[in-house]
Amino acid sequence: MATDTSAFNSAHLEPPTHTQQLAITAFGEAKTLALQTQPIPKMTSQQVLVAVNFAGVNPIDAKTRAGLGWAAQQNKDNLPWVPGYDIAGQVVAIGEQVTEFAIGDRVSGFIGFPLQGGGYSQYVVAEQQALSHVPDNVTLETAAALPLAGQTAWQALEKVKVKAGERVLILAGAGGVGHLAIQLATAKQAQVIATASQANLAFLTELGAHAVDYHQGALVDLIEPVDVLIDLMGSEVGIAALECVKAGGRVVTIPTITADLVCQRAEALGLSACGILVSPSVVQNNAMLERVALGQLQVEIAQSFPLSQGVQAHQQIESGRTRGKVLLAVSAP
């Protein structure tokens, strides 16, 4: 297999053979994350090598690290395992049959989901069809924050067929998925109500939502009934929010660990309910990158941590107090 390495040769550099990564060494607390160096896998003719500038940190990463969920169960015998599904960076080598990308292209993608992961790496081998071109006026930081969270929000709204004029309640509106779901629902001309802490109410209002402080009491006492619930919390919080939905209303719950329980309670109340497992879509990623480029979609980034501070990044995402997305600033040499 031939691989184009002209970007390295022109700069008198050898193509990279190894990559530094942040891996889950054992299931448990965030401190089980550790740096490691591994050989870069050989590319096929349809793959590209990406030097990663930023990688997204998502709640599923922390849950997997804690040993929870399907990805953890499937990888329990594969530790150390490298999490991470969102990446953005530059193409540094291409397979001989790659036609969509050239060396130097800025790209982002939703890769290795759900079992392969690998985003917490300086270099990632990816299928060309998994990547998007990043518009010139969109930063790689923003592009890395968008794929998983944006597509989760997009697909959740599609699942419950949100229509113009409907009242939509979004739990955890200030989070990575929530703040994008607000904007996508507002673009559909829905009336959006979103929950947050007092500190984030103004932020949600700026995004177009009617913001509700969940500390002020039971949601059912704070808002008028809604047509649709986008449950980004699950568990007892998601179950309590079902009382806010009109009879015959629709519910989509995102946290997979409690999805069955929330759906059972919803159906007992006469609601239509489902969970979703996000499916990577380059078409959706391209559409959202275009909206960002046009100023029609805002991506909030809470903090970017160096790869060496992955423990702190996971602690932040587990705090439940994150506005927008957490990233790892990988910055391949």
Taking only the tens place, the pLDDT of each residue in 13-38 is 577 999 999 999 999 999 999 999 99
- State the pairing for strand pair 167-170/226-231: parallel
What are the pLDDT digits (tens) for 247-296?
A: 999 999 999 999 999 999 999 999 999 999 999 999 999 999 999 999 99
- Domains identified in the chain, total number: 2
Q: Are residues 258 and 136 in the same domain?
A: no
The radius of gyration computed from the CA coordinates of the chain, to the nearest angstrom, equals 20
What tokens does 159 get?
């699942």
Position 290 in a domain? no
Q: Are residues 207 and 221 in the same domain?
A: yes
Tally the residues of the chain: 333
Position 281 in a domain? no
Q: Are residues 34 and 140 in the same domain?
A: yes
Q: Are residues 125 and 21 in the same domain?
A: yes
CATH code at position 228: 3.40.50.720
Q: What is the mean pLDDT of the chain?
A: 95
pLDDT at 332 over 90: no
The pLDDT of residue 2 is: 42
Q: Are residues 99 and 185 in the same domain?
A: no
- The residue segments making up the domain with residue 175 are 149-275
Q: How many helices (H) and strands (E) does the chain have?
A: 12, 16
Query: What is the C-alpha to C-alpha distance for residues 90 and 11, in angstroms, rounded to an integer?
Result: 15
CATH code at position 99: 3.90.180.10
What are the pLDDT digits (tens) for 122-149?
A: 999 999 999 999 999 999 999 999 999 9
What are the pLDDT digits (tens) for 42-61?
A: 999 999 999 999 999 999 99
Phi/psi for 317 (5° steps) reads -65, -25
Query: What is the C-alpha to C-alpha distance for residues 85 and 106, in angstroms, rounded to an integer?
Result: 17
Q: Are residues 324 and 261 in the same domain?
A: no
Q: Are residues 130 and 186 in the same domain?
A: no
Q: What is the mean pLDDT of residues 217-227?
A: 97
Q: What is the mean pLDDT of residues 141-160?
A: 98
CA atoms within 13 A on the CB side of 225: 9
Q: What is the mean pLDDT of residues 240-247?
A: 98
Query: What is the C-alpha to C-alpha distance for residues 321 and 330, in angstroms, rounded to an integer?
Result: 23
Q: Are residues 87 and 215 in the same domain?
A: no
Q: What is the mean pLDDT of residues 327-333?
A: 82
Position 86 in a domain? yes
Q: Are residues 36 and 166 in the same domain?
A: no
Query: What is the C-alpha to C-alpha distance for residues 177 and 167, in angstroms, rounded to an integer?
Result: 18
Q: Are residues 267 and 320 in the same domain?
A: no
Position 260 in a domain? yes
Q: What is the DSSP string of 48-115?
A: EEEEEEEEEE-HHHHHHHTT-SHHHHHHTTS-SB----EEEEEEEEEETT--S--TT-EEEEE-STTT
pLDDT at 200 over 50: yes
Contact in structure between 227 and 246 (CB atoms under 8 Å): yes
- The share of the chain scoring above pLDDT 70, in percent, equals 95
The pLDDT of residue 246 is: 98
The pLDDT of residue 7 is: 44
Q: Are residues 158 and 240 in the same domain?
A: yes
